[in-house]
């Protein structure tokens, strides 16, 4: 059973593909490699292409005949979105529109779409564009009969338990890898914005991948469209993260306090609907497990591979 995965060469996407393969599916990755890595495509065919290319998307669907799609392609950095809102509406909204149109016109009626907890704190083009995509999914469902699962993922973190893939962005912006890099001496210090006490929900990337497959199977079983939070259901501060990284690394992390940014003090997933509707529960999202797997990846893998 073939599944088309846009953004499948990225951090979450590669873990989704690994989980799909383990469950007996064939993931076909469609990615332009603007944020992904070719070396992370290990569990199925890879087609390099742009989400805005309707003809290319249609050709891939015609050639591989997927039974459903998982849509992860898009721009994801909230602070960048404040500076480059045009890029976020182009990639996230217009790209999703073209992708959904390609699905509809080629007879694919099931799609799992990766949304974000940023819709709850939509102060920039990232959260607003993700909210717009959710509205678009609902409109397409009513007009064209597609069924969708929109997964509002909280802060993806950690790395593959087996160490085969992990986080490797061209420009890292996520707290845990930045803290690990500071502990390893790869950066002078860690920048902390505000007082570091805001509570955030960190969920292991493998748990997010598992949720995508549960959502896919929910749709294949014709159980209807849904929108759910995907997180651990627990909140942690920046200081909690530093404590665990320092404990694992046995190093003190130098940090510099920066001016507070405009964000909510508490953003934690409500996992009840995911548990009830998808029979999904996080398995690896204890903070100690998240940071240990991330540390293992950074210290034992070439996470800046160019091959």
Using alpha carbons, select from 244, 166, 155 the residue that is nearest to residue 202: 155
Q: How many residues does the chain have?
A: 307
CA torsion sign for 288, 291, 292, 293 is: positive
Residue pair 62/106 in contact by the 8 Å Cβ criterion: yes
Annotated catalytic residue, options 126, 202, 244, 298: 126
**Cα distance between residue 11 and residue 142, in whole Å:** 32
Residue pair 206/158 in contact by the 8 Å Cβ criterion: yes
User: In Å, how far are 71, 73, 83, 266 from 33, measured between CA atoms?
Assistant: 15, 10, 22, 33
**Cα distance between residue 263 and residue 240, in whole Å:** 18
Residue pair 2/66 in contact by the 8 Å Cβ criterion: yes
**Cα distance between residue 221 and residue 66, in whole Å:** 16
Residue 255 annotated among the catalytic residues of the structure:
no
**What are the DSSP calls for 155-170, one per residue?**
EEE---TTSS-----S
Using alpha carbons, select from 192, 291, 184, 150 the residue that is nearest to residue 232: 291
**Cα distance between residue 56 and residue 51, in whole Å:** 9
Active site amino acids? 126
């Amino acid at each position: 059973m073939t599944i088309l995965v846009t953004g499948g060469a990225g951090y979450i996407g590669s873990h989704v593909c690994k989980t799909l393969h383990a469950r007996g599916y064939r993931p076909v990755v469609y990615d332009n490699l603007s944020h992904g890595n070719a070396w992370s495509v290990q569990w199925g065919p890879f087609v390099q292409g742009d989400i805005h290319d309707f003809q290319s998307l249609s050709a891939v669907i015609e050639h591989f005949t997927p039974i459903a799609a998982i849509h992860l392609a898009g721009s994801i950095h909230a602070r960048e979105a404040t500076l480059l809102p045009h890029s976020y509406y182009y990639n996230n909204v217009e790209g999703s529109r073209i992708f959904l149109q390609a699905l509809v016109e080629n007879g694919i009626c099931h799609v799992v779409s990766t949304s974000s907890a940023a819709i709850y704190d939509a102060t920039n083009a990232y959260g607003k564009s993700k909210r717009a995509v959710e509205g678009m999914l609902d409109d397409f469902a009513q007009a064209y009969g597609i069924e969708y699962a929109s997964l509002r993922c909280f802060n993806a973190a950690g790395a593959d338990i087996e160490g085969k893939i992990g986080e490797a962005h061209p420009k890292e912006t996520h707290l845990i890898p930045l803290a690990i890099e500071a502990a390893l001496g790869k950066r002078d210090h860690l920048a902390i914005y505000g007082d570091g006490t805001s509570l955030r929900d960190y969920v292991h990337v493998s748990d997010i991948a598992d949720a995508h497959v549960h959502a896919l199977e929910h749709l294949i079983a014709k159980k209807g469209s849904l929108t759910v939070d995907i997180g651990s259901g627990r909140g942690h501060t920046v200081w909690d993260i530093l404590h665990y990284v320092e404990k694992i690394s046995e190093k003190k992390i130098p940090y510099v306090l920066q001016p507070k940014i405009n964000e909510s003090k508490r953003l934690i997933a409500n996992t009840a609907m995911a548990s009830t509707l998808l029979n999904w529960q996080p398995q690896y999202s204890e903070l100690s497990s998240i940071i240990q797997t991330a540390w293992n990846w950074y210290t034992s893998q070439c996470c800046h591979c160019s091959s």
